Copies of this chain bind each other. A is one copy, B any other.
Amino acid sequence: MTKNSNFYPVILAGGRGTRFWPLSRRKRAKQLLALDGKQTMIQQTVARLLPLAAPAKFWIITNDDLRPAILRQLPRLPKIQVMAEPAGRNTAPAIGLAAFLLLRQDPDAVIGMFPSDHVIADEKRFRETLERGIAIASAGENIVVLGIRPTRPETGYGYIEAGGSFEGALRVRRFTEKPDAPTAARFLQAGNYFWNSGMFLWSARTLADALREHLPKTAPLLENIAATFGTRKFPDTFRKIYPKCENISVDYAVLEPRSAKGEQAGKIFCLPADFGWNDLGSWTALHEHHTAKRNPPEGNLITAASNFVLNAEGNYIHAPGKFVAAVGVRDVVVVETDDALLITTRQHAQDVGKIVKHLDQKKLHKLT
């Protein structure tokens, strides 16, 4: 593995991850939690990319709530490149700003856009895939997306429809929104559909041009901000102008219209990824991720000082420091923090975000 001198990882770390409440909070979002091992999700994200890029080449886009904790967790990264958006504007302005910034530094920059809160089991294969992607993205106006081979008819993800193959990659025919269940089942069976991982590779120039084409109002705002970077004017400019950008995802702003140009003209390529990806979207997903290696897989996952289990199966219990006794319960999720106690089931864990909505509505900010 060699460090590619033009490769710049841009990690999007502004998400709130409310489905891991009560562990995740505004100032301690999912990406800052060690849900999978000793390192936090964002530390893992950086660590698995370090063989490809020196610390000085990382950029992180986050918000004011999370920036202090990210700086503590990633002390080797340049502070100035851990940027706090003055307001959340979804992924298009975030990655777009990175493109205009990097274009000024390195006209041949290739950007990798990465979520900060996913799990990847086979890091070696992940980096091999990235290197192939970087090569494709370096040429012409190509855009590369890492597609996850679907293993179930998931309705919670966007899908990529792949077409003809090209230099070991597949041409992207279409991006589709989250499908309904019958459509998801059809996608799974068809064999040429992939989950959209949210991981993209493109040159800074390609992305900048795409933004100028597809977001003609927002692109100049981002260029103005980028022009002040490193000067005294920057904080004020960033704070005033960035909120004026359109609030839109890069998928919707760039990838969908680009793919609509057709499989050949779109120049979007999907690299099928087989590196054990999991976005850990809920307590249930976390439980399954940890117990999948077991036999039988339906075990208990208990974080506690010590525990006693009697006729209890398939439970996820997080109460560090306490003695936990689980008697006769099945498939429950119980998560305890200093100020809160979540009690739900593996089946209902996707509704945990509704608790945070309730807390937001009631202005119970201490708990969010």
Copies per complex? 2
Contact B328 A347 (CB under 8 A): yes
Name the one of B341, B352, B358, B359 contacting A304, with C-beta atoms under 8 angstroms: B341
Interface segment out of the listed A33-41, A202-210, A314-322: A314-322
A347 to B22, CA, bound (A): 27
- Given known pairs A328-B348, A334-B334, the reply for A323 and B354 (CB within 8 Å) is no
The answer to whether the Cβ of A344 comes within 8 Å of any Cβ in the partner chain is yes
Contact with B along A324-341 (1 / 0, CB 8 A): 111111001010100111
Further contacts, 11 of them, CB under 8 A, given A311-B351, A327-B345, A329-B345: A308-B358, A310-B354, A317-B343, A319-B341, A322-B339, A323-B340, A323-B367, A325-B340, A327-B344, A328-B351, A336-B341
Contact in complex: B364, A343 (CB < 8 Å): no
Q: List which A258-317 residues lie within 8 A (CB) of chain B.
A: 304, 306, 308, 310-312, 315, 317
In the bound assembly, the distance between CA atoms of A306 and B359 in angstroms comes to: 11
A-B CB contact pairs (8 Å), 15 listed: A21-B325, A304-B341, A311-B348, A315-B343, A317-B343, A322-B339, A323-B341, A325-B352, A326-B344, A327-B344, A327-B349, A328-B347, A329-B345, A329-B348, A332-B332
Taken together as a complex, chains A and B put the C-alpha atoms of A367 and B329 apart, in Å, by 21
